[in-house]
């Protein structure tokens, strides 16, 4: 660790991993409810559990991004973070807000209250006071990191990272606009949900990947920056109008079917670019970095993101196809592999890279960490396949043959059992990961020859 304030990342990553454990466990409960529908129906209704599953996902991913920024900005800018105090205050606000969401939902408090009640829109259903807290936290973060970068060296990596984080924070402001007209509501809702994962978060992903490649492979910064710019340009070019793939059936004008189909198809390009980037850098790289697990996660991230977002996204993005598959289990298959590949694996990669350094030891116990990669990735891929099969059957029976929704669900039961099984693997993998990162102290593998440059 070159800079003391990089330590801030430790706290962020720790909270992120706790929420990660909560998130996947909640997924497992949901998966069981699908198998046995009355499970916990009195204490934890499906809709509340689902909200906790998706919201804790978003919150921990964002915490991971913040942590990553606090970790890599000092190193890139060659400056300590402007104010560590503010950074911890920001974390505190986010923790209180998250706790507030959980309590409000679990006990169904303050229904309908303007300030305290939930808002009932997937991913952004937080009560208004929490939303205000999120904005305050984001402002603190942006101020803190921007001041650091302005005072220090400006690199392409920090520029893109900051651009992504600024834009995603600005987009969140749409969460305060909740029109009564359902079509309008959806139109603006996608400004956040889509323009996060398919535009601004991609910038964050590209810059963190670039940072990891820089450190792990030792390829020249110039080469890495060229890739970074091309990836970012294609992501923004395709992603912004690609929003149209959510406007097919919500009452927007018909021309969105063509805009959405064409631009969202091009969204495959940046994901392919990130995968090509990661592999070409490793192939070109001269450095044999001892942290093999971080490299595995980085390569796994780029690959699974390409399949989850790129391939599974394209699968149902043309409006002629989406007409049949909209809102079926195909969507769930895509949502899981895309989120896991692109953003979960990304966070686990930077955590795997940074933790040994933050703890002041050599990369350790890589075997367990790598085992957790295969367990989680294997589970996720299997889950994606089962849900894709389920979705195909569902599309045929429900959308083509016109059978009733619940009759079709009964016929999908076996797939839901298999989804639960793969979910168990994912949860075990997650717990193993957390253990592998936090607990062991002993070396398991031979350290590489040069370890004095631990901060690399």
Partner 1 sequence: MSRTPTEPPARGIEALPGDLMMWVLIVSELLVFGAGLLAFMGVRLTDPAGFAEAQSHLDRTGAGLNTMILVTSGWLAARAVAAAESADTARTRALLAGAAALGVAFLWIKWLDYAAKGAAGITFETHPFFTFYYLLTGFHAVHVVAGIVILGLVAIRPRAPTVEVGAMFWHMVDLVWVLLFPIIYLLGAGA
Which helix (H) or strand (E) covers residue 46, if one does?
A: helix 46-77
Q: Residue 103 half-sphere exposure, CB side, CA atoms within 13 Å? A: 9
Based on the shown chain and the rule CB under 6 A, indicate whether residue 427 belongs to the binding site for ligand HEM. yes
Of the candidate spans 59-67, 185-193, 248-256, 279-287, the one that interacts with partner 1 by CB under 8 A turns out to be 248-256
Q: Which of 259, 280, 428, 445 binds partner 1 (CB under 8 A)?
A: 259
Query: Among residues 34, 190, 263, 415, which is the contact residue for partner 1, using CB under 8 A?
Result: 263
Q: Which of positions 96-155 make contact with Fe ion (CB under 5 A)?
A: none
Q: Does 54 bind ligand HEM (CB under 6 A)?
A: yes
User: CA-CA distance, 184 to 89, in Å (whole number)?
Assistant: 35
Q: Which is nearer to partner 1, 75 or 202 (by Cβ)?
A: 202
**Can you tell me which of 10, 66, 141, 339 binds ligand HEM, judged by CB under 6 A?**
339
- Specify the DSSP element, H or E, that contains 105: helix 84-106
Q: Is 290 exposed, middle or buried (0-12, 13-18, 19+ CB in 10 A)?
A: buried
x/- letters, 231..270, toward ligand HEM (CB under 6 A): --------------xx-----------------x--xx--
Cβ–Cβ under 8 Å, residues 81 and 9: no
CB of 309 to partner 1, least distance (A): 18
b (16+ CB within 10 A) / e for 406-415: eebbeebeeb
Contact with partner 1 (CB under 8 A): which of 23, 98, 158, 234?
234
Q: Nearest-CA neighbor of 356 among 442, 449, 454, 452?
A: 454
* Half-sphere exposure at residue 39, Cβ-oriented, CA atoms within 13 angstroms: 13
The option from partner 1, Fe ion, ligand HEM, none interacting with 233 (CB < 5 to 8 A, set by class) reads partner 1
Q: Which of 112, 180, 181, 254 lies at the binding interface for partner 1 (CB under 8 A)?
A: 254
Handedness of CA 71, 76, 80, 82 (dihedral sign): negative
358 close to 9: Cβ distance less than 8 angstroms = yes
- The residue range among 9-17, 79-87, 278-286, 327-335 that interacts with ligand HEM, by the rule CB under 6 A, is 327-335
Report the nearest approach of ligand HEM to the CB of residue 52 (Å). 11
Out of 79, 82, 186, 194, point to the residue binding Fe ion (CB under 5 A).
Answer: 194
């Amino acid at each position: 660790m070159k800079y003391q304030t990089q330590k801030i990342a430790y706290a962020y990553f720790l909270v992120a991993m706790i929420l990660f454990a909560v998130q996947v466990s909640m997924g497992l409960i949901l998966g069981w409810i699908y198998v046995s529908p009355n499970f916990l129906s009195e204490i934890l209704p499906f809709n509340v559990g689902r909200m906790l599953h998706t919201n804790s996902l978003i919150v921990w991913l964002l915490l991971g991004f913040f942590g990553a920024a606090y970790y890599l900005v000092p190193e890139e800018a060659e400056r300590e973070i402007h104010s560590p105090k503010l950074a911890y205050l920001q974390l505190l606000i986010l923790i209180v807000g998250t706790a507030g969401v959980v309590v409000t939902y679990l006990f169904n408090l303050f229904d309908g209250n303007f300030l305290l009640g939930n808002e009932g829109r997937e991913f952004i259903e937080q009560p208004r006071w929490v939303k205000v807290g999120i904005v305050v936290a984001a402002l603190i973060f942006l101020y803190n990191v921007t001041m650091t970068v302005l005072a220090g060296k400006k690199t392409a990596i920090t520029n893109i990272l900051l651009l992504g984080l600024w834009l995603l924070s600005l987009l969140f402001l749409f969460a305060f606009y909740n029109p009564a007209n359902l079509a309008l509501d959806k139109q603006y809702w996608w400004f956040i949900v889509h323009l996060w994962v398919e535009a601004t978060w991609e910038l964050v992903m590209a810059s963190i990947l670039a940072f990891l490649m820089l450190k792990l492979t030792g390829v020249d910064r110039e080469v890495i920056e060229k890739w970074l710019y091309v990836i970012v340009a294609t992501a923004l070019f395709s992603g912004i109008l690609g929003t149209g793939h959510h406007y097919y059936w919500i009452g927007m004008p018909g021309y969105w079917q063509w805009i959405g189909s064409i631009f969202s198809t091009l969204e495959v390009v940046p994901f392919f670019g990130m995968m090509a980037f990661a592999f070409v850098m490793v192939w070109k790289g001269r450095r044999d970095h001892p942290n093999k697990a971080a490299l595995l996660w980085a390569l796994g991230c780029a690959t699974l993101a390409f399949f989850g977002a790129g391939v599974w996204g394209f699968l149902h993005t043309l409006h002629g196809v989406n007409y049949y598959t909209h809102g079926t289990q195909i969507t769930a298959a895509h949502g899981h592999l895309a989120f896991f590949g692109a953003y979960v694996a990304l966070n686990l990669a930077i955590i795997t890279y940074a933790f040994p350094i933050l703890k002041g030891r050599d990369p350790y116990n890589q075997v367990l960490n790598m085992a957790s990669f295969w367990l989680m990735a294997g589970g996720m891929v299997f889950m994606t396949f089962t849900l894709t099969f389920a979705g195909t059957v569902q599309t045929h029976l429900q959308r083509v043959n016109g059978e009733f929704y619940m009759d079709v669900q009964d016929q999908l039961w076996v797939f839901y059992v298999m989804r639960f099984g793969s979910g168990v693997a994912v949860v075990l993998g997650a717990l193993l990961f957390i253990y592998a990162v936090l607990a062991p102290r002993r070396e398991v593998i031979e350290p590489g020859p040069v370890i004095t440059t631990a901060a690399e």
